[in-house]
Amino acid sequence: MKMILRWFPFGDDSVTLKEIRQIPGVTGVATCMPKIPVGEVWPLEMLESLKKEINDAGLEMEVIESVNIHEDIKKGLPSRDRYIENYIRTLEHLSKVGVKVLCYNFMPVMDWARSDLSLELPDGSQVMAYRHEEVLKMNPKVMADVMAKKARGYSLPGWEPERLDAMAKDIEFYQNMTQETYWENMKYFLDTVIPYAEQYDIKLAIHPDDPPWPLYGLPKVITNRENIRKFLDLNKSPYNGLTFCTGSLGSDLKNDLPEMIREFGKEGRIHFAHIRNVKHLTEKDFDESAHLSSCGDLDMFEVMKAYDEVGFEGYVRPDHGRMIWGEKARPGYGLYDRAIGANYLLGLQEAISKMKTRYK
HSE-CB of 90 using CA atoms within 13 angstroms: 26
Instruction: In whole angstroms, give the CA distance from residue 306 to residue 304.
Output: 5
Catalytic residue list contains 319: yes
List, in sequence order, every residue forming a beta bridge with 318; answer none if it has no partner: 275
Q: Which of 216, 319, 337, 344 is catalytic?
A: 319
As a dihedral over the C-alpha atoms of residue 308, residue 101, residue 316, residue 5, rounded to 10 degrees, the angle is 170
CA-based torsion, 113, 172, 165, 140: positive or negative: negative
Among the listed residues 104, 130, 196, 333, the single catalytic one is 333
* Encoded amino acid at 296, one letter: G
* Strand ranges across the sheet with 285-289: 116-120, 126-131, 285-289, 277-282
- Which entry of 320, 336, 337, 344 is annotated as an active-site residue? 320
Active site residue 274: yes
CB 325 within 8 A of CB 284: no
φ, ψ of residue 187 in degrees (nearest 5): -65, -40
Distance set, CA 131 to CA 22, 54, 69, 304 (Å)? 36, 37, 27, 28
The one catalytic residue in 70, 72, 174, 207 is 207
Note if 291 is an active site residue: no
* 295 catalytically annotated: no
Give me the catalytic one of 130, 245, 315, 336. Answer: 245
Q: From the candidates 271, 274, 280, 291, give the one annotated as an active-site residue.
A: 274
The CB-side HSE value for 182 (13 A sphere, CA atoms) comes to 21
Helices assigned H by DSSP within 235-286: 246-249, 257-266
The residues assigned a catalytic role are 207, 245, 274, 319-320, 333
